[in-house]
Structure 1
């Protein structure tokens, strides 16, 4: 099974790389990076909220074990770092 997100990103990169005009290629690359950064921020917020939700009644070490990270990393994620 292929990863749809990876395939989409790969196709977008290929499309941008194929633009002949260097200025247009630069501008399109900047637009795509902004879109990706926005998505990344949204996903980080989801992770932050999950870590906060899991903390209820658990230690950070327990939350970390659930998320497959250290307890201190789980706490950092919950704080948005």
Structure 2
């Protein structure tokens, strides 16, 4: 999955390099950035949902251990921070 994402980002950046007109290149870069930011917000919400799902039968410390963060950080993630 990560390789596919890295490839997609590399291809998007290459497509920008192929655009000669700086105004057009800016407009396309803006659309790409908007898409990435939208995806980032969706991923942040997904991570919050996962943290809350893990919490149903565990302490924040246990959730943090499973997620590879501290318990306090796991709780922050659950709140979308």
Relative to the length of structure 1, the TM-score reads: 0.94
Deviation of the 1:40 alpha carbon: 1.0
| 1:6 corresponds to 2:30 | no
Structure 1: give runs of 5+ residues left out of the alignment: none
RMSD over equivalenced CA pairs, Å: 1.1
Aligned twin of 1:70: 70
Relative to the length of structure 2, the TM-score reads: 0.94
| Aligned residue pairs, count | 80
Q: What pairs with 1:2-81 in structure 2 (closer than 5 Å)?
A: 3-81=3-81
Structure 2: give runs of 5+ residues left out of the alignment: none
